[in-house]
Amino acid sequence: MSMSTGESGGVTSDINVTPMIDVLLVLLIIFMIVQALKRAAVDIQIPAPEKIASTSAQSAQIVLELRDDGSYVINGQAATPKDQLDRKFHEIYDQRPAKLLFVKPGRNRVYADVIEAIDIARGAGVEVVGFTPAETPN
């Protein structure tokens, strides 16, 4: 019985991957949970449907229009370039207690642009964002 040194009589050269797979599994589960918990979102108020669009009265509301030609217009003034939006929003909202913005995108604007504009506004201190009622084609 001189050969009883090892079970298989040699050194196995295979790497044991089991602990690695275990760790990867745990990481996968951790990322799944983190993803679910860290879901990002932007709240937007949507108008009630029955409201009649007769709000032509001059008010202190701020309306950001995203026109189909790619311009950004605040309250019907001259178009603001996109990189100036943040400064403009700061100008408007820094002294306003009501951090409310209405957004009125053109029908051909891309949704990502709309969210980006809302994102800029939120960065400048806007707290509540709402869509204006859709104009029903007569």
Partner 1 sequence: MTAEINVTPMIDVMLVLLIIFMIVTPVLESGFQAQMPAGLNVDQRPEGDDEITLGLDVNGAYFLNGDPVSKEQAEAKLTELYAARTLDKIIFFKADGGLKFGVIEEAVTMASRAGARVLVSITDRKGGLMAEEK
- Binding stretches for partner 1 (CB under 8 A): 7-8, 17-18, 21-22, 24-25, 28-29, 31-32, 34-49, 66, 105-112, 114-116, 118-120, 122-123, 131, 134
Minimal distance in Å, beta carbon 66 to partner 1?
8
User: 49 vs 81, which CB is nearer to partner 1?
Assistant: 49
Smallest distance, partner 1 to C-beta of residue 58, A: 25
Based on CB atoms, which residue is closest to partner 1, 98 or 134? 134
Report, in Å, the least distance between residue 46 CB and partner 1: 5
Q: Which residues are CB-neighbours of 94 under 8 A, at least 6 positions away?
A: 125
The one-letter code for the residue type at 63 is: V
Q: Any residues with CB less than 8 A from the CB of 51 and at least 6 apart, and which? A: 133
Reported as half-sphere exposure (CB side, CA atoms, 13 A), residue 76 has a value of: 3
Residue with tokens 């311009």: 71
